[in-house]
Amino acid sequence: MADTKTANSDTSNIKDFPSKSEADARLRSFIERVERLEAEKAELAEDIKEVYGEAKANGYDPKIMRKIVRMRKMDVEKRREEEALIEVYRNAVGMD
């Protein structure tokens, strides 16, 4: 009888889990959301590329612009630390 009681308590927890079809639908939904976001990301990357191309056509250097964009994302202290280290390294190799 103990086995029957244990089996019944084990099966009572099963209803807490989604059915296979619910789990499949949920997984499909997650995958479709990621696919939509990836498509949006590709579109945004193309838009960014076009902006850099436009800037280049107007005489700006996209490589330097990318560095500035990266630097502007950084925390002020992190950026200052990086700039100081670059200066130390430049001096060490005789670039100044």
Q: What is the pLDDT of residues 2-56, one digit of tens each?
A: 555 555 555 555 566 778 899 999 999 999 999 999 999 999 999 999 999 999 9
Where is 47: in which H helix or E strand?
A: helix 20-57
d(Cα 65, Cα 73) in Å, to the nearest integer? Answer: 13
Of 5 and 58, more confident: 58
Decide: 74 and 86 in contact? Cβ < 8 Å: no
Q: Is the pLDDT at 62 greater than 60, yes or no?
A: yes
What is the value of pTM for the model shown?
0.66
